[in-house]
Amino acid sequence: MSFSELGLSEAIVRAVRERGYDTPTPIQRQAIPAVLEGGDLLAGAQTGTGKTAGFTLPILQRLSETAPRKRGAVRALILAPTRELAAQVEESVRLYSQHLDITSMVMFGGVGMQPQVDRLKKRVDILVACPGRLLDHAGQGTVDLSNIEILVLDEADRMLDMGFIHDIRKVLKLLPAQRQNLLFSATFSDEIKTLADGLLNRPALIEVARRNATADTVAQKVYRVDRERKRELLAELITRHNWYQVLVFTRTKHGANRLAEQLSKQGISALAIHGNKSQSARTRALAEFKAGSLQVLVATDIAARGIDISELPHVVNFELPNVAEDYVHRIGRTGRAGAEGEAVSLVCVDEDKLLAGIEKLIKRRLPVEILPGFEPDPRIKPEPIPNGRQQRGGGGRGNGGGSGGGQSRGQGRGQGRSGNSSQGQRPQGSAPGGNKPGNNRPRRRRTPQPA
């Protein structure tokens, strides 16, 4: 099947072809026709499968057929949890719309508002935004959301985890009641279904991979090592195997900074990326990493959302995440769109329970290796690891963003926008929306799932 067979115009197909894509992925094969039908959609697919094109392409198709010329009338709103992801999505919109008369912009915190205000005075058909900064503009009356025809919640599971549920509710109140709603999620949890029940009206349901599955193209491996020798082992693996473009995950911002500094002192070019870094520093580090001039990028979970590098060869869990689902998100940065990748986890005795939780989630045992010279000391006793998700941030107001460290699952939420104290929580009962109860049961699409 080709993109043209999915009902997309020649202008869109040409832009897709110029990006080097000829065959749609499974999520694109099912999502594109569903969005073109005009109904709501609940879509779950493992990360790296092409979700972004799955909604941007049909949105472009729909808007290009009746695109108005009114200034300040945003027609499609895409909400994303982090700056990096928002920037990536808007870049895709621009690339795929280059042969269309469609305009777009990205909006997030950590940068000045005035340039965004000036841009909003011009025509913007598609707005990609983080919830916090969008509400800032709405509060100042600098953005008009009354003409929204299509709403997309991208990485919806992450937005819930980051405590954006109250911000999402506030945004929904600013939108017209009649609109198309699309909810995309890398993982498809029961909480996502709760959110969908309140937001979506009889949505088509697409799930192209089992819940919390990892890509078959990613080779996963665990190295057992003492906690104090992790940095030494990481440097050994990088130099011994001549690894380049290595994305390394830590739990905390401080840990990311320290590890990047230590690697740099050993002659391995490394930078850290997290919410305490300025937006310019984050952008510069990411650009160098994508260009291949930076060997190692050390990141926290939230800051790494939106890192989309074709054929990224290596992901390393320097520390296992506190929440097993984050493991799926982390290793999904490699092995994208069918490419092969390698995910290595450095596991000490403190992390045995975290490893067990990950293996239970993904329903497989991870192969374990011990590198000669780095044999764990059996006399070392496990030390406690702060429980629950870390402090979240990265998409909203101020200069915040990225993950922090050590807060419990309950405490960590509600800190999604640095410098603000909204008490974000997991949704209880019905989620935001405005659709009538009893009219939101998903209608499962009967499109055969490609093998």
Q: Express as a percent the part of the chain with pLDDT over 90.
A: 51
Residue 321 in tokens: 């995440």
Range in 84-98, 296-310, 371-385 the model is least confident about: 296-310
The pLDDT score that the predictor gives to residue 406 is 33
- Which residue type does 253 have? K
More confident residue, 85 or 239: 239
Q: How confident is the model at residue 439 (pLDDT cuts 50, 70, 90)?
A: very low
| Mean pLDDT, the chain, integer | 81
User: Which pLDDT tens digit goes with each residue over 9-37?
Assistant: 999 999 999 988 888 988 899 999 999 99
Residues with Cβ < 8 Å from 181, sequence gap 6 or more? 40, 41, 150, 151, 153, 199, 200, 201, 203
Sheet holding 126-129: strands in order across?
Answer: 104-107, 126-129, 76-79, 150-153, 180-185, 41-44, 204-207, 443-444
- CA geometry: angle at 200 spanning 195 and 206, to 5°? 90
pLDDT of residue 373: 95
Sheet architecture: strand order including 296-299: 270-273, 296-299, 246-249, 314-317, 341-347, 218-224, 368-369
Residue among 74, 88, 95 nearest 12 (CA): 95
Most confidently modeled of 372-381, 408-417, 437-446?
A: 372-381
pLDDT, mean of residues 64-86: 83
Name which of 130, 141, 190 is nearest 416 in CA terms.
130
92 or 310, higher pLDDT: 92
Residue 34: closest CA among 64, 55, 53: 55
Say which amino acid occupies 274: H
Q: Which long-range contacts (CB under 8 A, 24 or more apart) does 275-278 make?
A: 275/300, 275/302, 275/303, 275/393, 275/394, 275/399, 275/400, 275/401, 275/402, 275/403, 275/404, 275/418, 276/399, 276/400, 276/402, 277/303, 277/402, 278/110, 278/399
Lowest-confidence range among 187-201, 234-248, 287-301, 343-357? 187-201
**Of 254, 237, 266, 213, which Cα lies nearest the Cα of 386?**
254
pLDDT at site 388: 43
Q: Longest Cα pair distance anywhere in the chain, in angstroms?
A: 71
Burial class of 269 by CB neighbour count within 10 A (0 to 12, 13 to 18, 19+): middle
The pLDDT value recorded for residue 61 is 96
Q: Domains in the chain, start-ordered, CATH in brackets?
A: 4-211+430-444 (3.40.50.300), 218-369 (3.40.50.300)
| Residue with tokens 């764990």, as numbered in its chain | 376
* Of the candidate ranges 90-94, 100-104, 333-337, the one whose mean pLDDT is the lowest: 333-337
One-letter amino acid of 132: G
> Which residue has tokens 């030390």?
383
Average of pLDDT values for 433-442? 42
> Residue 314 above 80 pLDDT?
yes
Q: What is the pLDDT of residue 67?
A: 61
Q: Is-above-0.85 flag for pTM?
A: no
390: nearest Cα among 292, 265, 274, 220: 274
Task: Please tell me whether residue 203 adopts helix, strand or coil conformation.
Answer: coil
Check: CB of residue 431 under 8 Å from CB of residue 195: yes
* DSSP structure string for 102-171: --EEEE-SSS-SHHHHHHHTS--SEEEE-HHHHHHHHHHT----TT--EEEETTHHHHHHTT-HHHHHHH
Q: How far is CA 118 from CA 88, 94, 270, 317, in A?
A: 21, 19, 36, 41
Overall average pLDDT of the 113-129 stretch: 94
SS3 288: helix
Tokens linked to 285: 């580090």
Give the tens place of pLDDT for each residue, 202-233.
Answer: 999 887 765 556 666 788 999 999 999 999 99
Number of C-beta neighbours around residue 220 at 10 A: 22
